[in-house]
Amino acid sequence: MDCFWHNAFGMKRDTIRWSLVVFAILALFLRAYTEQQPAPTVTFTCDFPGSDPSHYALSVSSDAHASYISDGKLTTDAESGEPFALEFNMPQATLTRIFELAKKSQYFQGEIDSKKKNIASTGQKTLTYKDSQRNNSANYNYSPVPAVQELTAVFQDLSITLEFGRRLEYDHRYQKLALDQELRGMNEVSNRGELGDVAVIAPILQKIVEDPSVVNGARARAQRLLSQVSASGK
């Protein structure tokens, strides 16, 4: 009888041991599979000859990694823009909003353009959504879909903000006296409600605030813009 129970308990221990091994192997396979899957990504591109920038693209993945490219001009008297590329982390509130709007837009499946002939051109735009199961892309000038309209505005305002940040970086390095005028313009855009998430350029604004060689007026304007980040809790 003792031998029977000993064998039974031994078999039970072996079964548990092998079950744990199997679970561990499955967990490793699942982790490897998950790591190989690209994070869901939303990308917005805009081509509008004659505007500044005439081309730009913003891409953001669900892990908050974002990238921006453009041919915007660094100075008003520049004959043409130079290629610009930036990688940054998208603030959580804006990240969440982008993916919520992508979902409301049915991940850009099907036609999203109005196709009306009498609508002024505001640039050829493309929205793309990619994940492990989808790869949708839609082109449009103007969309009657409310979620697409709002998402377009989010990306356009982010581009405006990132272009301001790019110019502020340049001015802070090469022509500090130009900072005040640039920040005035930025505050005006902000007052019109056309500025994107200021958190994406918070580092350069902070550098301007902390630089005693910058005129006080410019530092004060930069501080007011930074206060938007603090107020929103981003």
Q: If we measure between CA atoms, which residue out of 208, 193, 207, 198 comes closest to residue 228? A: 198
pLDDT at 33 over 80: no
What pTM did the predictor assign? 0.81
Q: Are residues 116 and 26 in the same domain?
A: no
Contact 89, 65 (CB under 8 A): yes
pLDDT at 13 over 70: no
- 129 vs 74: CA distance, rounded Å: 30
Q: Are residues 10 and 77 in the same domain?
A: no
**In the predicted model, what is the mean pLDDT of the chain?**
86
Q: Are residues 70 and 183 in the same domain?
A: yes
Q: Are residues 116 and 210 in the same domain?
A: yes
Q: Are residues 115 and 13 in the same domain?
A: no
CA dist 22 to 12, 14, 33, 224, Å? 15, 12, 16, 58
Residue 9's domain comprises: 1-36
Q: Are residues 69 and 132 in the same domain?
A: yes
Q: Are residues 30 and 50 in the same domain?
A: no
Number of folded domains that form the chain = 2
Contact 225, 190 (CB under 8 A): yes
Q: Are residues 32 and 47 in the same domain?
A: no
- 175 vs 215: CA distance, rounded Å: 12
pLDDT at 20 over 50: no
Q: Are residues 80 and 145 in the same domain?
A: yes
Q: Are residues 17 and 72 in the same domain?
A: no
pLDDT tens digit sequence for 78-137: 766 678 999 999 999 999 999 999 999 999 998 999 988 888 888 999 999 999 899 999
Q: Are residues 125 and 177 in the same domain?
A: yes
